Amino acid sequence: MTPRTKPPDAFSPGETPTFEVSARESLRDSQLRRNLGKATQTIRRKRAVAVEELPDWEELREAGRALKERTLRHLDTYLLQLEESVTRAGGVVHWARDADEANRIVAGIAKEKGADEVVKVKSIATDETKLNEHLESEGIHAFETDLAELIIQLAGENSSHILVPAIHKNRAEIRELFLRELDVEDLSDEPKDLTNAARLYLRKKFLNAKVGVSGANFAVAETGTISVVESEGNGRMCTTLPPVLVTLMGIEKIIPRWRDFEVFMQLLPRSSTAERMNPYTSFWTGVSGEAGDGPQEFHLVLLDNGRTDVLADEIGRQTLNCIRCSACLNVCPVYERTGGHAYNSVYPGPIGAILTPQLVGIGKPGPDSLPYASSLCGACYQVCPVKINIPEVLVHLRGRVVRHKQDGGTLRQRLDPENVAMQAMAKTFSDPKLYENAQGLARVGQWPFARGGKIGSLPGRLAGWTAVRDLKPVPKQSFREWWKEERG
Amino acid sequence: MRVALFITCFNDTLFPETGRATVEVLERLGHEVAFPEAQTCCGQMHFNTGYQREAIPLVRRFVEIFEPYDAVVAPSGSCVGMVRDLYPMAADLAEDPDLARRVDELAPKVFELSEFLAKRLGVTDVGAYYPHRVTYHPTCHSLRMLKVGEAPLELLRNVRGIDLVPLGEAEQCCGFGGTFAVKNAETSAAMLGDKIRRVLDTEAEVCAAGDNSCLMHIGGGLRRLQAGVETVHLAEILASGASEER
Ligand code: SF4
């Protein structure tokens, strides 16, 4: 099989469509709607039960938040400490300013080993840098070994969920894909058989690969220990079988001490898969030495790629607390209906809506539309195990998007109808006289649209409202008019 | 206690009956209600849509107008959420420490109607009579920003004659979300569709909530479908039929 390249997203060169445009397509996909609806409702319920079991859940969340916040405050110190501990344990640390630098480092290591194949354990950081595409361009095939990642890689698609990347596919589709791509003769659509086909295929890859590539859930500054938390055991294979292991991680994945795991290992599995403990948690510190299992050579690539910019934003920086549990996706009413592809980013859902525009920078139409892909209902904040106030960051980023447009200062931006309307309304609201006049005008201005005691259609952008809802006409007397009459 | 009514621009213009009901409930409980006529809008729509510099003068006005009172009551969870949760952010953006201090003093005195009644005054029976089958949608900002909890339901349970039926998946957003309903109209409609299905499942005559913005959205959908379900603000239910009972 030839790994296909994924469609471009916010982290690829060029522009991506806005959320509104992409969502329209996803909303019409009936299979996606039912799969997602069912999956998110089930996991929501299970998560609530798993969390309910811990009487100190709120304290744990607070501890997780505080640990992350302190780490980020002293990130420079902890990163140097991590470099030192990893080096002491026999690993090599590389620093990558951006995606390109990170990709070149990984490709360089693979080429040096003469590898034309690498096995990968699911890592969103490498999706962010487009590592697979880069390796491909240097003649190196990257094989995803997580079942769902394998599926979407074979299909040449993007992941639609952080944890369940193939949530949008059903088993008939997966069976067809495997028959076509994996050289199997006969296959039922039973999950057991599908998994087995993937297992046989991947087993060969694991045993032959010279280089394994992973991401990281956590990296302990104090000891240099890296951790990957997973469900299938493919991560364990990737990080122990190949003689060379390369881990690419964002600089925010650091935790100060070994004992901090106590907090995060309670928060993460319950939030993500609603399990008390996930099936496989791998820890490794440097290289394995002479006798033991595991890699003889270990490289850690520390990736910035916009993260220090996020850190510089006082309100936005809490985004870096994220431990990628995906609880916010599962409770999000927008995500539940549009799915992940509408976000055009390797980071979908509420976390994607705040992380993507911050990482790629404000001023690009696609990512700029993401902070608006929310009704600000706050369900995400309520479940986030590290207490990221996602609605607050969404609102803050909307402000940055608007200020960027206004200060960009082109005439077109200033004459943007929304901007003009908002300026006019702000002026109206700042003066009770103007405001009262506007109330009167609203009453008069609606008559072209009112019919039979309701308004069934509005012009322009407001047509979105009346496409599915009637509008009640403005009543004859405002509250303040009544007050003046009765009490004035 | 000097109680001021913050009617909100939305209710003032589109739902005056909610304002009248709020005044009636508060007066019935023996409070004298002041209506500072200089009030306009809290700035929520501007702030949440990203026009935050434009919202700052509105924040200043609000603070100046309402800081003399002991309590400010509004029949809208989301406008109160704006004042309590987002005014501090606005004051920071304005780089005005004096405004920030005044916001901090004012914010805890601003209440959504149901929390003012149940939590601040400790009243859960306002003597209302409303002989209808009602389901209640808790609205996200009341629920998650203000954490009013059971307050509105307690008030409703004590209404005479009411047949209160629980709403399925009640805590799910209805899809209004301010300018979200226009900017992401299709996604908003998909959320509305599911909310309407839950409302219809209850076979209620009335869908109630503490926020007319969400109700305008839900009610607009129900009316378009000719579903035969009314949307009514909580305040109006609480103000109903009291005279007959007394
Ligand atoms: S933002 Fe919070 S809830 Fe969402 S993935 Fe990150 S840690 Fe989990």
- My answer on whether A370 and A441 are in the same domain is no
Q: Per the domain annotation, does A190 fall within a domain?
A: yes
Q: Is B43 on the interface with A (CB under 8 A)?
A: yes
Looking at the domain assignment, is residue A420 inside a domain? no
Q: What are the structural domain ranges in chain B?
A: 3-120, 133-245
Distance in Å, alpha carbon of B130 to nearest chain A alpha carbon: 23
The residue ranges of DSSP E strands in A291-449, in sequence order, are: 297-303
Instruction: Indicate whether A54 and A130 sit together in one domain.
Output: yes
Which residue stretches of A74-190 are H helix?
A: 75-88, 99-112, 124-129, 131-137, 147-155, 171-181
Q: What is the pLDDT of residues A225-237, one digit of tens each?
A: 999 999 999 999 9
Give CA separation, A141 vs A1, A266, A360, B169, in Å: 10, 36, 27, 46
**Domain hosting residue A483, numbered range:** 432-487
pTM beyond cutoff 0.90? yes
Using CA coordinates, name the residue in chain B closest to A475: B14
At residue A470, what is the residue type? D
Average pLDDT, chain B: 96
In terms of domains, do A236 and A345 share one?
A: yes
Question: What are A409's two structure tokens?
Answer: 């200062």
Residue with tokens 């209620």: B204
Query: What is the mean pLDDT for each group of 10 consecutive residues in chain A (488 residues)?
Result: 70 95 94 90 96 97 98 98 98 98 98 96 94 96 93 87 78 90 89 92 92 97 96 92 97 98 97 94 89 88 98 98 96 96 96 98 96 98 98 98 88 82 91 90 74 76 83 90 90
Taking an 8 Å cut-off on Cβ atoms, the answer to whether A376 and B171 are in contact is: no
> Residue A425: inside a domain, yes or no?
no
Exposed, middle or buried by CB within 10 Å (0-12, 13-18, 19+), for B149?
middle
Whether A421 maps to a domain, the answer reads no
Q: Which residue of B48, B176, B224 is in closest CB contact with A468?
A: B224
CA A438 centroid distance within chain: 43
Q: What is the CATH number that goes with domain B133-245?
A: 3.40.50
CA A434 to chain centre: 44
pLDDT value at position B20? 97
Do A364 and A479 fall into the same domain?
A: no
The answer to whether the beta carbons of residues A153 and A3 sit under 8 Å apart is yes
Beta carbons within 10 angstroms of residue A404's beta carbon: 15
C-alpha–C-alpha distance, residues A225 and A242, integer Å: 18
Q: Provide the domain count of chain A.
A: 2
Q: Is the Cβ atom of A394 under 6 angstroms away from ligand 1?
A: no
Q: Quick one: A216 and A276 in the same domain?
A: yes
Confidence of residue B246 (pLDDT cuts 50, 70, 90): very low
Mutual angle of helices B185-201 and B212-224, in 10-degree steps: 80
pLDDT of residue A461: 74
Rounded percentage of chain A residues whose pLDDT exceeds 70: 97
Q: Is A137 a member of any domain?
A: yes
Domain limit, last residue, from A383, A415, A447: A415
From A413-417, B77-81, B121-125, the region with the lowest mean pLDDT: A413-417
Residue A384 CB partners (closer than 8 Å, separation 6+): A61, A327, A328, A390
The answer on A301 and A268 residing in a single domain is yes
pLDDT in tens, A384-414: 999 999 999 999 999 999 999 999 867 777 7
Question: Is the C-beta atom of A325 inside 6 A of ligand 1?
Answer: yes
A73 plus A118 within the same structural domain:
yes
The residues, any chain, with a CB within 8 Å of residue B164's CB and separated by 6 or more, are B134, B135, B136, B153, B156, B157
Same domain? A338 vs A298: yes
Is A471 exposed, middle or buried (CB count within 10 Å of its CB: 0-12, 13-18, 19+)? buried
Query: Does B244 have pLDDT greater than 60?
Result: no
For residue B14, give the 3-state DSSP assignment: helix
Is residue A93 classed as helix, strand or coil in its secondary structure? strand
Q: Does B87 touch chain A (CB under 8 A)?
A: no
As a whole number, mean pLDDT of residues B63-79 equals 97
Q: Residue B243's pLDDT is what?
A: 53
**Do A401 and A477 fall within a single domain?**
no
B190 interfaces chain A, CB cutoff of 8 Å: yes
In-domain check, residue A119? yes
Residue B22: pLDDT over 80: yes
CATH label of the domain that carries residue A235: 3.40.50.10420
Tell me whether B101 touches chain A (CB under 8 Å): no
Contact A118, A143 (CB under 8 A): yes
Same domain for A327 and A204, yes or no, is yes
Note the helical H segments in A388-431.
Answer: 390-408, 411-414, 417-429
Q: Which residues of A touch B16 (CB under 8 A)?
A: 475, 477-479, 481-482
Tell if the CB–CB gap between B16 and A479 is shorter than 8 Å: yes
Q: In A246-316, which residue ranges form alpha helices assigned H by DSSP?
A: 261-272, 307-312
**3-state SS, residue B168:** coil
Dihedral sign, Cα of residue A329, residue A332, residue A336, residue A338: negative
CA distance A222 to chain B (A): 36
Per-residue pLDDT band at B242 (split at 50, 70, 90): low
The verdict on A407 and A449 lying in the same domain is no
Which chain B residues are within 8 Å of A442, Cβ to Cβ?
Answer: 13
CA distances from A147 to A196, A202, B210, B225 (A): 10, 9, 46, 44
pLDDT of residue A488: 73
Which pairing describes strands B3-5 and A211-214: parallel, antiparallel, or unpaired? unpaired
Task: Point out the domain boundary residue: A390, A415, A440.
Answer: A415
pLDDT of residue A5: 65
Does the beta carbon of B35 lie under 8 angstroms from any beta carbon of chain A?
A: yes
Same-domain status, A383 and A469: no
Does residue A159 form part of some domain?
yes
